Amino acid sequence: MNDVTSPTSKPGEIAGWPKLQIVYRSDADRIADLLPPGFTAGPNPFVHINIYNVPVLGEPEYGVSTKIEASYDGMAGYYTLGLGIDQEAAIFISQELNGQPKFPCAITFFRLGDHVEARCTHQGYTFLEYRGEAKATVAPGADYAENEWWIKSSRAVGGVEKSYDFAPHVVRVATTNRVSHIEAVDGDLLLRDSPWDPYTDLLPLRELLSTQLVTQTQPSRSITLAGPLDPLAFWPYADTIGGSRWPGERGGPRRTR
């Protein structure tokens, strides 16, 4: 009898790559400022950053996602501020169809032995760096459900003030997650000043809480409209930096006044 368990993917295949999951504590008031009316800040002023490499459109996609804890319509979840990826093809179609806040980003992410390293660069600014060492395996828990919030909206053609062609709606991404492997990582997170990715200004790092390499699958995933937001109350949040939800001005960083 053969007791050897076959791997879920072939050695080296990107479908088996773990995500680098980073959680840090920021300021509750800063998180509340980034949430449009209609959302309620979650119980923890935590910022959740995932750096990954997954197959999308038949090729590797390196990405970095940034989420903060928030509830909508009484449902707990995570409000996504941005998804920086290195595939142009998936950026604009994702924004149009589902309101996914994607923008172009160059990402380095690798593990060599126990050494783990990641860097994220956007508009010439390397805004995030992480270096650490994998230390210990952590027992994965049971499957868990999760909600992620995106926003789909389109301002009126011609830039008519406070008008929309499609008023803002919340998009609910409901997933079931199954974790197969976790490794704790001990290292340092460095957030650098960048006008295009303003972590240091809007979500300052107060305490690094955890870093893990997590291998998981999603047995189920659905993307649906969850409900509308007040269009006038949302207007100050409509102008963002690129396709992200970072507050911007005419698609770029806000000017210093």
**Position 5 in a domain:** no
Q: How many structural domains is the chain composed of?
A: 1
- In the three-class reduction of DSSP (H, G, I as helix; E, B as strand; rest coil), residue 21 is classed as strand
* 41 phi, psi to nearest 5 deg: -60, 145
Q: State the pLDDT at residue 4.
A: 36
**Position 256 in a domain:** no
Q: State the pLDDT at residue 1.
A: 36
**Position 89 in a domain:** yes
- CATH number, domain of 226, equals 2.40.400.10
**Position 23 in a domain:** yes
Range of the domain at 186: 14-247
| Plot region of 32 (φ>0 → left; ψ -120 to 50 → alpha; else → beta) | alpha
Q: State the pLDDT at residue 12.
A: 66
pTM above 0.75? yes
> Which residue from 50, 45, 49 is spatially nearest to 30, judged by alpha carbons?
45
In sequence order, what E strands does 75-163 have? 75-85, 102-104, 106-112, 115-122, 125-138, 144-155
% of residues, the chain, pLDDT over 90: 86
CA distance to 32, 76, 168, 171, per residue, from 41 (Å): 6, 9, 19, 17
Residues of the chain with pLDDT under 70: 1-9, 11-12, 14-15, 256-257
* Residue 188 tokens, joined: 């340092």
Predicted confidence (pLDDT) per residue in 102-128, tens digit: 999 999 999 999 999 999 999 999 999
Q: State the pLDDT at residue 3.
A: 37
